[in-house]
């Protein structure tokens, strides 16, 4: 009798199959929702960047903000940097620095736009927008930032990308008082803060200045042409050049270059309601002291020349004798005064002009 063998194949239950399908469906839905969210965020970011690019292109690289646009460009995830000039240019605020920095900031924005023209940013965090918010258009922003002075430049760093900061909501503030309201200072601040190469400033041609310079040059050449025959005797005058040479020699010998290098004061208060003309010590001097010494040197030079050249040419013996005594007395007086000034320097005490003359008169009268 033949035997029959039966093989039993277990079939999955309906419950297990249903669970696997549900898990697959949930996983598929989660992936789809995540991808959709990422796509929405990327689309929103691209839309924002396209909007800001259009605004920058429309206004030569500078975006003017209001409360809403400020919040839009500085809040939320951003893959770019934002520089905001917070200013107050209205006449009622009398902000001179605001009016000074406004064209300089606009120059930096236009130069940045020209530098980025046709450039593709492989890392979006390298992109930077230059914006401007006036107080009249953003009072609530000024109140939120607790600003009481203007102008200010804030830089908001990217929240994503290679250049993202750990705390991007804390802006970097430009030190306007020390750096100054110039385009060069703004470029240095942007370069050091954003770690990018300096922006090459492209200044527009000042046609008014060019025309004025050309007309001034033509007028000068015309005047020289018309007055040529009158100027030649003056230019060739030996006495003129002798006088100029002597003046320059006396000026530099008396310490003029020392004043220019050390930026010495002209005079200083003496503490008694007056001023001091002579500085104490040989390592210091005042501007007025230089002029006093220059006059003394000039009188001494003129007296020496008169005594050596003019006096011997006098034919009358009496006039010659008087001239010799007069110029000798002037030389003696001026040298004495010069030595007195040197002694005051040695005493290392600042001295006023009245004290100089009084002590000089007293010592030469009673000593």
pLDDT value at position 350? 52
Is the distance from CB of 267 to CB of 277 less than 8 angstroms? yes
What pTM, to 2 d.p., does this model score? 0.51
Per-residue pLDDT tens digits for 63-106: 999 989 998 888 877 888 889 999 998 888 888 889 999 999 99
Alpha carbon distances (Å) from 348 to 274, 339, 365 = 18, 15, 24
Check residue 125 and give its pLDDT: 62
Given a cut of 50, whether residue 3 has pLDDT beyond it is no
Q: Would you list the domain boundaries of the chain? A: 42-194, 237-366
Pick from 128, 123, 132: which is nearest to 112 by CA?
A: 128
CATH superfamily membership of 42-194: Glutaredoxin (3.40.30.10)
Q: Find the mean pLDDT for residues 102-114.
A: 89
State yes or no: pLDDT of 212 exceeds 90: yes
So what's the pLDDT on residue 254? 84
* pLDDT-based confidence at residue 343 (cuts at 50, 70, 90): confident
Least confident of 59-63, 85-89, 214-218, 339-343: 339-343
pLDDT of residue 35: 44
pLDDT in tens, 171-193: 888 877 777 888 888 888 888 88
pLDDT at residue 39, as a whole number: 40
Residues facing 130 on adjacent strands: 62, 83
User: 3-state SS string over 155-222?
Assistant: EECCCCCCCCCCCCCCCEECCHHHHCCCHHHHHHHHHHHHCCCCCCCCCCCCHHHHHHHHHHHHHHHH
Work out the pLDDT band at 327, boundaries 50, 70, 90.
very high
Is residue 44 scored above 50 in pLDDT?
Answer: no
pLDDT for the residue numbered 216: 94
User: Which run of H or E residues covers position 129?
Assistant: strand 128-134
How far, in Å, CA of 291 to CA of 287, rounded? 7
């Amino acid at each position: 009798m033949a035997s029959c063998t039966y093989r039993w194949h277990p079939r999955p239950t309906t419950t297990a199959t249903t669970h696997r399908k549900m898990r697959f469906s949930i996983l598929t839905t989660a992936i789809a929702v995540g991808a959709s969210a990422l796509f929405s965020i990327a689309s929103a970011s691209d839309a924002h960047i396209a909007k800001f690019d259009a605004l920058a292109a429309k206004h030569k690289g500078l975006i003017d903000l209001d409360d809403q646009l400020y919040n839009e460009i500085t809040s939320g995830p951003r893959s770019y940097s934002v520089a905001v000039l917070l200013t107050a240019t209205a006449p009622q605020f009398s902000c001179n620095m605001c009016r000074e920095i406004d064209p300089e900031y606009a120059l930096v924005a236009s130069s940045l736009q020209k530098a980025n023209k046709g450039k593709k940013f492989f890392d979006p965090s390298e992109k930077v927008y230059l914006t401007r918010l006036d107080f009249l258009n953003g009072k609530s922003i000024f109140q939120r930032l607790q600003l009481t002075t203007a102008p200010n430049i804030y830089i908001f760093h990217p929240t994503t990308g290679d250049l993202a900061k750990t705390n991007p909501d804390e802006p970097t503030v430009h030190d306007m008082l020390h750096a100054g309201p110039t385009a060069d200072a703004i470029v240095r601040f942007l370069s050091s803060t954003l770690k990018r190469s300096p922006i090459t400033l492209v200044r527009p041609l000042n046609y008014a200045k060019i025309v004025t310079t050309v007309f001034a040059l033509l007028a000068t050449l015309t005047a020289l042409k018309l007055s040529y025959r009158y100027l030649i005797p003056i230019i060739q005058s030996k006495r003129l050049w002798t006088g100029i040479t002597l003046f320059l020699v006396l000026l530099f010998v008396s310490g003029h270059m020392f004043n220019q290098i050390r930026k010495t004061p002209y005079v200083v208060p003496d503490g008694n309601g007056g001023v001091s003309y002579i500085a104490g010590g040989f390592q210091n001097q005042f501007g007025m002291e230089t002029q006093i010494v220059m006059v003394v040197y000039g009188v001494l030079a003129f007296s020496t020349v008169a005594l050596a050249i003019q006096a011997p040419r006098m034919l009358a013996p009496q006039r010659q004798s008087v001239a010799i005594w007069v110029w000798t007395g002037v030389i003696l007086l001026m040298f004495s005064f010069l030595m007195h000034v040197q002694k005051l320097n040695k005493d290392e005490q600042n001295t006023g002009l009245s004290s100089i003359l009084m002590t000089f008169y007293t010592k030469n009268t009673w000593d």
